[in-house]
Structure 1
């Protein structure tokens, strides 16, 4: 007897439907074909134990199982439930005439209980696209998959519940979530800018970076507050749109690192250690998985102590920073992960940790400081829009008991500026805020008057800026203008943007 049961495989952030064909014949043997990995090959032992512990039999016949398409590599233990049901139907132990109308996924424990799977959201999206009636999966993943409407999502705890459902004896009800209602629940940020004493100029930079989605690097001695400021940046970013939330949830679902139940509402903040490899940062592996830059999609990637990262690790970020996606190629397939994130980096100005100053506890020469800075390539620095020096907070500011401006107040201004940008780029696909502008958009929306042009020309010649740095200054100027609700980019906006190119200025080393 031949039975077809449907599962799904995830490649990149998209799912592909897999047909599990189970054929039962005379003889003895268990043959699993269709490019399964070791975890799938071992499934027969888990399935046999689960069936026996639930009063069922593993047939002593010749069982041939094909995972089609046969030329596509399958990975993981999530096909246990799919294969088990196929065997039960093929051996006439249960009757399930409409089993082909459902996608079925789940890892079996030896007692028949189900363990969570990865990629439930993209699988549910694909199941709805292909017209399946429902989706059976572990209870732990049910709310995540139920984000998708027009699909019956059944969260199950064990094998017996699925058997009872197809036998007409169960009382399973689909998991239902009102996505928009759940999405609109406000979240409270863990960190708030009201905790930061002083550093008003740095807060201004962070506000500009958040308003335009610009990359920023903070340079300062230990204890100046670089990490404290960076951790609070997500608290002033505008709330995610429903589309952004779905994109972000899908990536975290594929990676199996979804912390929130259901739809993600908080922008991700990723902070990998400086010992991270290039594969862990951009993604990859023999069976590619998303890296830190994709996990930070629509959020913030914070690289603390930037010069301590290996140079080759930092260089692989150059292309994703420009294209806002990363493509990983293998011999038989290519996957693309989105990686539109804000890069926030911090670093000390010298190996000793301090600027060249007679009062500094540890002094470094200009040559040592330059050598330390040279660990970061010029092309990478060019891709960072805002460079800002962070100086230690004086005692008078630290001991001040007055509350600083809160994240809510700053986020309100940032959100207004983002709304202006959303309206401006409404007709341009893939452009939502100023940092995403192409050269064409810059020429159209960052037109300068004669005074502004002369000011920018002088800065370009004096600082010897690259063409990319020129574009970055214009993008930041446009954001500053948006924050002040100005239709045009004025000379004062250009002047402020030029101030935020510290690493381009001669003499900043002291």
Structure 2
């Protein structure tokens, strides 16, 4: 009897593990058995393979077929193994090129008529195949564009199983596969929103530029109509473009979420979940296959929580761990997945449920208990992880007509790029490039400024107005202020500016 072997990929979050698919036949009653920790969807692959082969006129052995997925200890989920199982089972007859089959990774689901159906996660699967040393992958035609985004891998796309069989040397009435060409890697993105549209909020615009320059988290509070959402949506436009690795990571998360990926975008992602979203929608979840939530989809970009006071406290507190670690771990019964969570958090909230508390000329009708309950949705530990706190007021006629010339998106982007370049030079030789990533032990150790410069922070720490985590975050913001100002060392004015930007949580 002939044992045929090929390859597929098992995904757990963004991590992909190569799975060897072995097929063997025996002279027993016709049966199709799949072993190696398959889930229910994968366990049903035998029926799909038999019907697909019959409807495409492909001769599947009419004996007992045993398919082993190795390593057997690794859980396998989903229908993306169908094509690999079908090819391995058909190859037991010895009528195809066994060497080519053994050097090819197959990803895709089969329809009962033999069509190759698209599956989510093809992009990270191809990345995993490349990382394991494979250079040839077969995918469904609908997934061809995203698979071709991975350099160094020859991608072949098919519309039906018969095309894959013919390409492997089998005899059938179908055209062989052809390599996929012309993947779009750097298609120009949409024109970013213009920052100069924001008028009368000079302090808030400055805070937004500081947040972008250092990668800091931002809280904006103020009445409705003050421009909080308008400012937040302009943050991605002033952030530096994504590099190749970050672009591929963003596209891989989109692929796992089931979105159609046809190009690598250089614009940082922007996610804005509704305040009615559950904790599972934020961190990710699902039955069997864990899908990424808003936190993972915002990685390398911005997670914007509009109406932050309306989010349930439990949902907001789910942000605390990923804000510190930069990853989000999702655990379900018998399965776990890890996704990146390197995002900038921007929270916009009103001062009270009606939005009029403390507003000049406003009439707040909220009860004191309602105001306290509303403001306490943002817990102390979460606020302690936010670097910049900006209080906005409605724009009056005088502020709209007067003031300095508005900052444009282009100018702000240049300022951010120059500040980040200065920070990268300072932290050269370390694992960090942005001020927001530098640990406190380094800021208070090798990079510590003079005692005179640190005096205001030390005083706030002694009074209990500042935690040690807040102390470190203020130092990070101060370094970003210094980078924007062009200072090579940290000055007292830089620390004072950082305290001003964090006045909502430091006072």
Taking structure 2 as the reference length, what is the TM-score of the superposition? 0.90
For 1:193, which of 192, 195, 201 is the aligned residue? Answer: 195
Equivalent residues in 2 for 1:44-59, closer than 5 Å? 44-59=46-61
Residue-by-residue CA offset, 1:30-68 (whole Å, 9 max, x unaligned): 222222222222323332332233222444322222222
- For 1:393, what is the secondary structure of its paired residue? coil
For residues 6 and 112 of structure 2, the distance between their equivalents in structure 1, rounded to whole angstroms, comes to: 21
Secondary structure of the residue that 2:444 maps to in structure 1?
Answer: helix
Distance 2:97 2:468 in 1: 69
Give the distance between the partners of 1:254 and 1:382, measured in 2 at CA: 32
- The Cα of 1:418 is off from its aligned counterpart by 1.0
What secondary structure does 1:98 align onto? helix
Are residues 293 and 7 of structure 1, via their aligned partners in 2, closer, same or farther at CA, if it must alter by over 3 Å? same
Q: Which residue of 2 aligns with 1:275?
A: 276
How far is 1:255 from its partner? 3.0
Are 1:149 and 2:154 counterparts? Answer: no
- Deviations, residues 350-372 of structure 1 (Å, cap 9, x unaligned): 12212324621334466653442
Question: Distance between the aligned counterparts of 2:491 and 2:252, measured in 1?
Answer: 41
The match for 2:179 is 174
Helix, strand or coil for the counterpart of 2:346? strand
2:62 is aligned to: 60
Give 1:5-154 correspondences, 5 Å limit.
5-26=6-27, 27-92=29-94, 94=96, 96-154=98-156
Shift of 1:100: 0.3
Aligned to 2:234: 232
* Cα separation, 1, equivalents of 2:472 and 2:419: 20
The DSSP-based 3-state class of the residue aligned with 1:70 is coil
Q: Offset of 1:267 from its aligned partner?
A: 1.0
Compute the RMSD of aligned alpha carbons.
Answer: 2.7
Deviation at 1:227, TM superposition (A): 1.1
1:469 equivalenced with 2:477 (yes/no): no
Distance 1:40 1:51, change over 3 A: same
2:212 — aligned with what? 210
CA distance in 2 between partners of 1:455 and 1:423 (Å): 27
Question: What is the distance in 1 between the residues matched to 2:131 and 2:364?
Answer: 62
SS at match of 1:154: strand
CA distance in 2, matches of 1:240, 1:445: 30
Conserved in 2, the CA contact under 8 Å of 1:296 and 1:339? yes
Larger mean CA deviation between 293-302 and 263-272 belongs to 263-272
Partner residue in 2 for 1:490? 491
Q: What is the correspondence of 1:46-445 to structure 2 with a 5 Å cutoff?
A: 46-92=48-94, 94=96, 96-167=98-169, 170=175, 172-176=177-181, 182-183=185-186, 185-257=187-259, 259-285=260-286, 287-329=289-331, 335-357=337-359, 359-364=361-366, 368-395=370-397, 404-429=406-431, 431-444=432-445
Give the distance between the partners of 1:308 and 1:453, measured in 2 at CA.
37
| Distance change in 2, residues 1:22/1:178 (3 Å) | closer
Choose 243-252 or 222-231, whichever is displaced more: 243-252
The answer to whether the 8 A contact 2:466-2:506 is kept is: no
List runs of 5+ in structure 2 lacking aligned partners.
none
Contact 1:434/1:478 (8 A) holds in 2: yes
Structure 2 CA distance, aligned partners of 1:210 and 1:245?
18
Unaligned runs of 5+ in 1: none
- How many residues are paired up? 500
Q: Output the TM-score relative to the length of structure 1.
A: 0.90
